[in-house]
Amino acid sequence: MKLDVTPLSDALGAQIVGADLARWQDDEQYEAVHRALLEFGVVVLRDQIITPAQQIAFSRRFGALELHSIVPCRMPGYPEILLVSNRRDSSGAYTGLPDAGREWHSDSNFHAKPSLGSLLYALEIPHEGGDTLFANMTAACAALDPALKARAAGRNARYVYGSRSAENTDSALKFTMTKSQWSEIPQAVHPLLRTHPETGRKSIYLSLTTIERVEGLSAAQGDDLVAALSEHFTQPAFVYRHRWRLHDVVFWDNRCINHKAMPFDERHARHMHRTTIAGDRPY
Ligand SMILES: [Fe+2]
């Protein structure tokens, strides 16, 4: 079956209607999704009814899966699934990350080899709010002012989970974890401009959730550079806003796309399953 791939915005993103991930065994279709991911950065697969095992199996076709560092938010029985959820258990404790990624970032940026891509599956969504913004970091890089590009070129940033102020940090820090679980969370240093290993294109690579500093600059100079790059890549021309529909699977390329979760009324449930595909060391 040939897939119908339709662009979602001028900035990035395409949607695929009519695919059924639960029954998918056709290599050509995986290849079509892969091509759409490389071309559009974000692929939205509508109307999927899939089990955790099926999401894991589909995701694995694109690479090995990561286990999230916040161990209590892994789905019981399916550790490859991160629960992004504001559901609570009988004791009132959150069962997943209720407010993950409220600032611009790329997933698992604090790993030496950050994620290739993430798949987020919407099982319960609020009536309004809770959208996800995506930014095309390749287009933003190509449009950089030469002087700003020169300031970023050759620079590296250090990423440390929990290093940012409370408003930038998701609620993961409130979860109870053992000392050894905390100590296993990695730190990493990555270039501010990276090359996509498959397309060869340059992107800005910058996560505001965890950036500790830009190496080789004073804190003030580093903050200035991060602010200038952030102001640039968040311009509307580079951003697509995804309004979730129930049973959407959204697959994004963490190597060239940033994302940010928008707030919603916490009285309503928002429950999602994320799988995270491991990637390569940025260069
Ligand atoms: Fe994220």
Q: What is the pLDDT of residues 8-22, one digit of tens each?
A: 999 999 999 878 888
Residues above pLDDT 70, as percent of the chain: 96
Buried b (16+ CB within 10 A) or exposed e, 220-259: eebeebbeebbebbbeeebbbebebeeebbbbbbbbbbbb
Buried b (16+ CB within 10 A) or exposed e, 164-190: beeebbbbbeebebeeeeeeebeebeb
What is the DSSP secondary structure assignment for residue 275, as one 8-state letter?
E
CATH number of the structural domain 4-277: 3.60.130.10
Residues contacting residue 66 through CB under 8 Å, at least 6 positions apart: 80, 108, 111, 115, 276, 277, 278
Residue 25 has pLDDT above 80, yes or no: no
How far is residue 100's CA from residue 84's CA, in Å, rounded to a whole number? 7
Residues contacting residue 156 through CB under 8 Å, at least 6 positions apart: 189, 190, 191, 192, 214, 215, 216
Residue 162 has pLDDT above 90, yes or no: no
Question: How far is ligand 1, taken at its centre, from the CA of residue 2, in Å?
Answer: 30
Question: How far is ligand 1, taken at its centre, from the CA of residue 49, in Å?
Answer: 22
194 is known as an active-site residue: no
| Average pLDDT over all residues of the chain | 93
pLDDT classification of 37: cutoffs 50, 70, 90? very high
Q: What is the pLDDT of residues 218-259, one digit of tens each?
A: 999 999 999 999 999 999 999 999 999 999 999 999 999 999
Phi (first) and psi of residue 258, to 5 degrees = -100, 155
Catalytic residue selected from 164, 190, 194, 259: 259
Question: How far is ligand 1, taken at its centre, from the CA of residue 161, in Å?
Answer: 13
Of the candidate ranges 78-87, 158-167, 244-253, the one whose mean pLDDT is the lowest: 158-167
Question: How far is ligand 1, taken at its centre, from the CA of residue 154, in Å?
Answer: 25
Residue 170 has pLDDT above 80, yes or no: no
242 is known as an active-site residue: no
CA neighbor of 262 nearest in space, from 248, 247, 243: 243
What pLDDT score was predicted for residue 3?
83
Q: What is the pLDDT of residues 190-223, one digit of tens each?
A: 999 999 999 999 999 999 999 999 999 999 999 9
Question: How far is ligand 1, taken at its centre, from the CA of residue 207, in Å?
Answer: 10
Do the strands 78-85 and 117-124 form a parallel or antiparallel pair, or are they unpaired? unpaired
267 is known as an active-site residue: no
Question: How far is ligand 1, taken at its centre, from the CA of residue 265, in Å?
Answer: 19
Catalytic residue selected from 151, 164, 270, 274: 274
Catalytic residue selected from 68, 107, 270, 273: 107
CA distances from 274 to 57, 74, 119, 163, 243 (A): 13, 9, 5, 23, 17
pLDDT classification of 173: cutoffs 50, 70, 90? low
Catalytic residue selected from 105, 111, 213, 270: 105
pLDDT classification of 56: cutoffs 50, 70, 90? very high
Question: How far is ligand 1, taken at its centre, from the CA of residue 218, in Å?
Answer: 28
Question: How far is ligand 1, taken at its centre, from the CA of residue 258, in Å?
Answer: 8
107 is known as an active-site residue: yes
Residues contacting residue 67 through CB under 8 Å, at least 6 positions apart: 74, 79, 80
Q: What is the pLDDT of residues 115-161, one digit of tens each?
A: 999 999 999 999 999 999 999 999 999 999 999 999 999 999 999 98
Residue 174 has pLDDT above 70, yes or no: no
